[in-house]
């Protein structure tokens, strides 16, 4: 061709495309879409990527393309042009997207409310321990809280870290080297060096290094499956595309109705970046590089689809619950912190610890870990059903799915061309596809059986079919690859005759040489007669291979089965219209008839019928080469030297990528489950429609009623050209209002738009795909599902799940698992939250009613992240309660994971019952130790800090009537007194836990608050009891006589303030010459205050522990008793949780209907829960860590009545639910 130069420069590819209006070079510019000015540059770029690339080179002749790009077709670009183009367009590389550094992604895991609360709580524990190191429980609690946060956040990071592997997958698709023509010479360069305008040469096996416009083509075929999903390699040529050519069938398919503009992606003269040349060779012009390629557009769409990722419904539910619980925890914590400090009943350290305790009691620390483990176990179970879960949240999301946008090739179909039908004797027949001899016998047994189209099965003995079969068998170069190890040349070969007889042999799964259609024909031939045997009987003499010009394949054979002296047999296979035009006769019922217009009409009718099914149709013919020798020197250059016409037409055979086994049933299950299944494919609308009808995605009655529709890529382009956003959205809504939809000939941008618009309407969308073109939609979908066998690396990285067997039926199994895990997670959450009331209420009553604290903070953690974990996880193994695939998908808004009925049931119903049971055990245990419930009010804050002083009813009544606290205990009282006067020789532990009660008045200490008759009482004020010193005594004045006089009145509250004995001793110590000291005024307990100003002990009260009055205090014993009773409370909660775990197995059915022993893991978890409670209660090392003491054996029986009550209560609730309709107000109120 002459040199061509461009006069107007290279067109910017961001401009709008041109649509050809005729067969000339005249074009009409389409005005660019009106974009709203408020859109940002990033938004404009995203909007542009959702449209077809602005390419018009496919509508230009090769010479005009070169002219446009200012390149010489023979010499290529010059060095200066390359430099200028590179400066303008950059390198042929994909721009990597911005990514979050791993360290920042990890730190973000600590940013959720639960983590912040627990981290803050842990830090406050460390601060409290630093201020007061005597309470080591604060240290233990802080460590446990931080460890819980660390483990949970680290696990979340591992699950959420979506690395840059998606873009790495695109990068790995870039060809390394390519052959380029520059400055008149051919060179091998890195593909990254290419610029628009370069001339590239390619041949079989090459990966296309950029977007190319074919300039020369020689038998060229390209595998576009990664981009379009077409299972067959597509022919490519250098012809200019004109309007009306876009849907012309190049492979025997009927043309698509409607003539219009040809999108570049459907043009037969375009080669796309990263696709593979499967045959032929040619030369092309680079028209796009890097981000400006079709693959670059897809990579950009993948990046776009990650912007504002929609959180899975489960995560939305959990986030919502976390916010609610965190707000409640913070509010309660701050409120009680302020209460403790404001009322002055607690020190700063005590208030901080109390605030932490309230937060810990409110927050279910083990919930996130439980959910994660439960999801992981479900993911493991799904792996056994051929679904690999990459992101655990996707397990439940699949159960919420309302729309499945499924790719066709490889998912709904088998991704292999298989013979479906044939036409001979003027009749259409169904051809079965058995995998082995056992299946063949079964399929052919019923002669009256009909296929999906209502056609009878073929008769292998029919003479016409025998001839058709012979032509199909020998007019082929395909063969089986029978090596048992393709990587080992010495590996043994399969014996086809032996293997064919085995019931587990899969003929259809065997790899073959040749293209998809050749392989399909070979497998059809094999089940009737061994192809190798056929070819041995009819050795090949000569062959003309298929080419894009002839569109047929021809071969000449010697028929050793024919009578001696028979001439060579010529057979022909190819496009039906090309084969038919070379025929003069047709075989029917074993007899040859001349072709007539009637036969041509019958042929056309059959051809169009098969083509309308979306099947690839091939014609077959033969001829006896009478008068020609078998050793004739056959040749086809420049033209055949033997006749290639005058053939006898044998028949038609059609092939299609057939539906997978089980897909029809799976689609039907989706319909029953109220899940819409859309077919979204890049394949031809006719093919897509045929498959959709066969598997039930598109029903005829739905089409006729207007509820089913087929939408092509051209329809979507028309929608996107609507400038008014409201009108465009309304059109999308109209399309998606159909119940059954098939999207065909769609681009990656179209797939992404389909997903986005469904999500806009509130649908939960699952997308399946295997190609690079599916990556944007896979990433944008609520749940992306890639194919494990046929899927490209990019699609696998973009997806949330991988379908290991590429079978759509496995997705339905996944939906069922997703719905089941939602039910089970709801049960786990319900079970987990029931312990919150018995954990939180003790702290509320501790401050509000001053009851002794029945459960320590560290025991709360023992429940939440200890005993509760295994039963909660065990509920994830629960079997389904009902036909979950008959109900609609759950709505995240209407049916959240944690809703009001569940909270009502957990916090008010079962939670309160558990709390009552636990307090019952706590009070009974305290009563057994001598502390009846009636005396406990007001003692809670001081119980672990000060010894109790109690009174009884008097007159021989041993039962105590009230208890309180005396003076503040201080461990340094003895040392303080010793420092005032070393001569006193006072014990360092003197009155460190309160002073002892002297047995007689003669041994009475005047400075002590205790007399031989009991506690002095606070009638005269705190100083007169707790801060008795010489200075106080000498300052009494007239009160001295008043107090002494009152000592004679047994009914006076002042009777023990100052006895005559006290006066004698005071005078001796404070005013006597023998002991007077310079500090004698400070003798006693100067400055000592009360233990608890809100719980004063009465006059005459005595030390009390172990159920009797004692002469000396024993605070350690008092703490021991409280810890033992707290252990009873803890164990009672754990035991109640055990029965709650059993009742949680079902939400509606009786557990007798459902079965108690079916879930062995749950029973094992309850057993482990009990064992752990026993260890915490009785193991000495854990007694120290958890601050518990062994509980009495009889206290284990205290929960039995509540065991029975909880079980009966829940069974009654379920019975009431079953007795009413599900929509009844009572059923809805009781059903969680």
Q: What whole-number distance in Å separates Cα of residue 392 and Cα of residue 892?
A: 17
- The answer to whether the CB of 834 falls within 8 A of the CB of 1143 is no
Query: Rounded to whole angstroms, what are the CA distances from 976 to 203, 436, 971, 979, 1024?
Result: 101, 100, 10, 5, 19
The structure tokens listed for 834 are: 């029931």
- Which H/E stretch holds residue 1179? none
Question: How many other C-beta atoms can be found within 10 angstroms of the C-beta atom of residue 457?
Answer: 17
Q: What whole-number distance in Å separates Cα of residue 437 and Cα of residue 1058?
A: 114
- Please confirm, yes or no, whether 868 is among the known catalytic residues: no
Question: How many other C-beta atoms can be found within 10 angstroms of the C-beta atom of residue 489?
Answer: 7
β-pair partners for 654: 421, 617
Catalytic residue among 407, 430, 770, 1005: 407
Residue among 562, 514, 533, 542 nearest 473 (CA): 533
- 199 CB contacts (<8 Å, ≥6 apart)? 71, 73, 76, 77, 180, 181, 182, 215, 283, 284, 285, 286
The 8-class DSSP code of residue 244 comes to: T
Helix locations, 849-953, DSSP H? 857-862, 869-874, 900-903, 911-928
Handedness of CA 105, 107, 108, 110 (dihedral sign): positive
The structure tokens listed for 298 are: 């897809």
Q: What are phi and psi of 596, to 5 degrees?
A: -135, 165
Q: What whole-number distance in Å separates Cα of residue 1192 and Cα of residue 65?
A: 95
Distance of CA 1085 to the CA centre of its chain: 68
CA angle, corner 964, sides to 962 and 968, nearest 5? 165
Query: Rounded to whole angstroms, what are the CA distances from 1220 to 293, 1152, 1179?
Result: 62, 19, 50
Q: What is the DSSP string of 1085-1107?
A: -TT--BS-TTSBPPTT-EEEETT
- Which H/E stretch holds residue 1199? none
Query: Rounded to whole angstroms, what are the CA distances from 502 to 287, 435, 441, 698, 789?
Result: 54, 10, 12, 37, 25
Q: What whole-number distance in Å separates Cα of residue 698 and Cα of residue 692?
A: 5
β-pair partners for 768: 785
- Which H/E stretch holds residue 1125? helix 1115-1143
Residue for token digits 């009106």?
34
The 8-class DSSP code of residue 316 comes to: H
- The answer to whether the CB of 169 falls within 8 A of the CB of 793 is yes
- The answer to whether the CB of 573 falls within 8 A of the CB of 619 is yes
β-pair partners for 221: 235, 279
CA angle, corner 1127, sides to 1122 and 1129, nearest 5? 95
Q: What is the DSSP string of 420-452?
A: EEEEETTEEEE----SSHHHHHHHHH-TT-B-T
Q: What whole-number distance in Å separates Cα of residue 291 and Cα of residue 273?
A: 11
Beta strands in 607-691 (DSSP E): 616-624, 647-656, 676-680
The structure tokens listed for 730 are: 């309304």
Q: What whole-number distance in Å separates Cα of residue 840 and Cα of residue 1199?
A: 20
The structure tokens listed for 633 are: 């020197």
Q: What whole-number distance in Å separates Cα of residue 761 and Cα of residue 751?
A: 16
Q: What whole-number distance in Å separates Cα of residue 1183 and Cα of residue 1175?
A: 9
Q: Could you give the residue numbers annotated as active site?
A: 407
């Amino acid at each position: 061709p002459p040199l061509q130069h461009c006069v107007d420069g290279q067109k910017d590819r961001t401009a709008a495309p041109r649509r050809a209006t005729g067969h000339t070079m005249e074009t009409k510019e389409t005005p660019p879409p009106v974009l709203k000015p408020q859109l940002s540059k990033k938004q404009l770029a995203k909007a542009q990527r959702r449209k077809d690339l602005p390419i018009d080179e496919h509508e230009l002749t090769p010479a005009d393309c070169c002219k446009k790009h200012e390149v010489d077709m023979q010499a290529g670009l010059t060095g200066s042009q390359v430099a200028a183009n590179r400066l303008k367009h950059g390198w042929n590389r994909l721009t990597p997207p911005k990514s979050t550094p791993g360290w920042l992604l990890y730190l973000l895991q600590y940013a959720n409310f639960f983590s912040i609360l627990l981290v803050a709580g842990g830090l406050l524990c460390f601060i409290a321990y630093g201020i007061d190191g005597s309470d080591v429980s604060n240290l233990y609690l802080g460590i446990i809280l931080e460890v819980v946060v660390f483990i949970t956040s680290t696990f979340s990071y591992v699950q959420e870290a979506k690395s840059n592997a998606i873009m790495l997958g695109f990068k790995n698709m870039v060809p390394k080297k390519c052959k380029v023509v520059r400055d008149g010479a051919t060179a091998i360069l890195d593909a990254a060096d290419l610029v628009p305008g370069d001339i590239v040469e390619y041949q079989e096996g090459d990966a296309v290094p950029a977007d190319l416009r074919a300039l020369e083509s020689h038998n060229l075929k390209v595998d576009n499956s990664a981009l379009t999903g077409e299972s067959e390699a597509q022919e490519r040529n250098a012809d200019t595309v004109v309007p009306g050519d876009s849907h012309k069938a190049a492979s025997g398919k009927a043309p698509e109705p409607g003539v219009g503009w040809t999108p570049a992606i459907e043009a037969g003269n375009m080669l796309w970046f990263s696709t593979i040349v499967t045959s032929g060779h040619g030369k092309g012009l680079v028209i796009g590089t890097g981000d400006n390629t079709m693959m670059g557009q897809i990579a950009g769409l993948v990046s776009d689809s990650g912007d504002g990722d929609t959180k899975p419904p489960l995560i939305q539910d959990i986030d919502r619950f976390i916010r609610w619980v965190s707000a409640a925890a913070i509010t309660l914590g701050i409120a009680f912190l302020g209460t403790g400090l404001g009322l002055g009943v607690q020190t700063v350290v005590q208030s901080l610890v109390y605030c932490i305790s309230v937060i810990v009691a409110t927050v279910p620390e083990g919930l996130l870990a439980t959910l994660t483990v439960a999801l992981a176990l479900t993911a493991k179970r799904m792996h056994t059903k051929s679904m690999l879960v990459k992101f655990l949240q996707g397990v439940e999301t699949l159960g919420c799915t309302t729309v499945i946008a499924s790719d066709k090739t490889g998912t709904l179909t088998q991704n292999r061309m298989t013979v479906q039908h044939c036409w001979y004797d003027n009749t259409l027949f169904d051809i079965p596809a058995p995998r082995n001899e056992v299946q063949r016998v079964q399929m052919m047994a019923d002669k009256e059986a009909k296929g999906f189209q209502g056609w009878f099965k073929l008769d292998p003995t029919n003479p016409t079919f025998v001839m058709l079969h012979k032509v199909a068998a020998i007019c082929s170069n395909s063969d089986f690859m029978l090596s048992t190890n393709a990587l080992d040349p010495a590996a043994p070969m399969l014996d086809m005759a032996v293997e064919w007889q085995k019931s587990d042999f899969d003929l259809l799964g065997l790899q073959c040489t040749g293209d998809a259609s050749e392989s399909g024909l070979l497998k059809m031939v094999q089940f009737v007669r061994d192809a190798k045997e056929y070819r041995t009987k009819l050795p090949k003499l000569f062959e003309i291979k298929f080419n894009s010009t002839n569109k047929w394949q021809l071969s000449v054979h010697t028929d050793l089965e024919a009578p001696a002296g028979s001439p060579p047999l010529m057979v022909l296979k190819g496009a039906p219209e090309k084969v038919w035009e070379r025929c003069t006769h047709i075989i029917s019922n074993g007899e040859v008839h001349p072709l007539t217009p009637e036969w041509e009409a019958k042929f056309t009718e059959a051809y169009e019928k098969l083509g309308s099914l979306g099947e690839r149709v091939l014609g077959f013919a033969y001829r006896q080469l009478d008068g020609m020798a078998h050793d004739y020197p056959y040749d086809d250059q420049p033209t055949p030297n033997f006749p290639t016409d005058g053939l006898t037409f044998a028949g038609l055979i059609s092939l299609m990528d057939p539906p997978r086994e089980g897909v029809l049933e799976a689609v039907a299950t989706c319909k029953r489950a109220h899940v819409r299944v859309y077919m979204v494919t890049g394949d031809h609308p006719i093919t897509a429609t045929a498959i959709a009808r066969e598997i039930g995605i598109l029903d005829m009655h739905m089409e006729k009623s207007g509820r089913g529709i087929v939408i092509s890529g051209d329809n979507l382009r028309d929608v996107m050209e609507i400038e008014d956003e409201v009108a465009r959205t309304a059109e999308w809504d109209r399309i998606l209002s159909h119940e059954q939809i098939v999207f065909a000939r769609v681009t990656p941008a179209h797939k992404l738009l389909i997903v986005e618009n469904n999500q806009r309407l509130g649908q939960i969308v699952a997308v399946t795909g295997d190609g690079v073109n599916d990556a944007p939609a896979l990433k944008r979908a609520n749940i992306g599902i890639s194919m494990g066998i046929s899927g490209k690396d990019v699609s696998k990285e973009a997806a949330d799940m991988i379908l290991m067997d590429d079978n759509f039926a496995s997705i339905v199994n996944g939906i069922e698992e997703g719905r089941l895990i939602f039910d089970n997670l709801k049960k786990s959450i319900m079970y987990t939250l029931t312990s919150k009331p018995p954990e939180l209420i003790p702290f509320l009553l501790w401050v509000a009613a001053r009851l002794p604290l029945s459960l320590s903070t560290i025991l709360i953690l023992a429940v939440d992240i200890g005993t509760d974990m295994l039963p909660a996880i065990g509920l994830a193994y629960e079997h389904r309660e009902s036909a979950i695939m008959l109900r609609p998908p759950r709505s995240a808004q209407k049916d959240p994971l944690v809703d009001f009925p569940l909270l009502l049931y957990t916090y008010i119903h079962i939670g309160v019952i558990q709390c009552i049971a636990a307090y019952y055990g706590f009070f009974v245990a305290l009563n057994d130790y001598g502390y009846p419930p009636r005396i406990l009010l007001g003692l809670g804050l001081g119980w672990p800090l000060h010894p109790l002083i109690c009174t009884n009813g008097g007159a021989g009544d041993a039962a105590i009537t009230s208890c309180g606290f005396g003076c503040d205990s201080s461990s340094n009282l003895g040392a303080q007194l010793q420092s005032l006067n070393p001569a006193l020789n006072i014990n360092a532990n003197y009155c460190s836990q309160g002073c002892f009660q002297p047995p007689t008045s003669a041994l009475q200490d005047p400075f002590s608050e205790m007399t031989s008759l009991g506690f002095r009482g606070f009638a005269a004020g705190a100083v007169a009891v707790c801060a008795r010193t010489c200075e106080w005594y000498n300052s009494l004045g007239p009160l001295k006589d008043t107090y002494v006089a009152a000592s004679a009145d047994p009914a006076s509250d002042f009777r023990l303030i100052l006895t005559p004995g006290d006066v004698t001793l005071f005078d001796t110590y404070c005013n006597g010459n023998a002991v007077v000291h310079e500090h004698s005024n400070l003798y006693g307990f100067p400055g000592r205050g009360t233990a608890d100003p809100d719980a004063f002990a009465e006059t005459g009260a005595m030390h009390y522990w172990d159920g009797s009055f004692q002469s000396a205090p024993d605070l350690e014993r008092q703490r021991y008793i409280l810890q033992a009773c707290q252990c009873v409370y803890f164990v009672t909660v754990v035991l109640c949780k055990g029965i709650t775990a059993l009742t949680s197995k079902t939400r509606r059915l009786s557990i007798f209907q459902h079965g108690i022993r079916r879930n062995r893991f749950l029973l094992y978890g309850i057993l482990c829960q009990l064992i752990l409670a026993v260890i915490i209660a009785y193991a000495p090392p854990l007694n120290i860590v958890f601050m518990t003491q062994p509980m009495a054996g009889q206290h284990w029986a205290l929960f039995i009545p509540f065991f029975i009550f909880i079980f009966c209560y829940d069974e009654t609730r379920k019975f009431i639910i079953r007795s009413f309709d599900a929509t009844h107000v009572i059923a809805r109120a009781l059903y969680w």
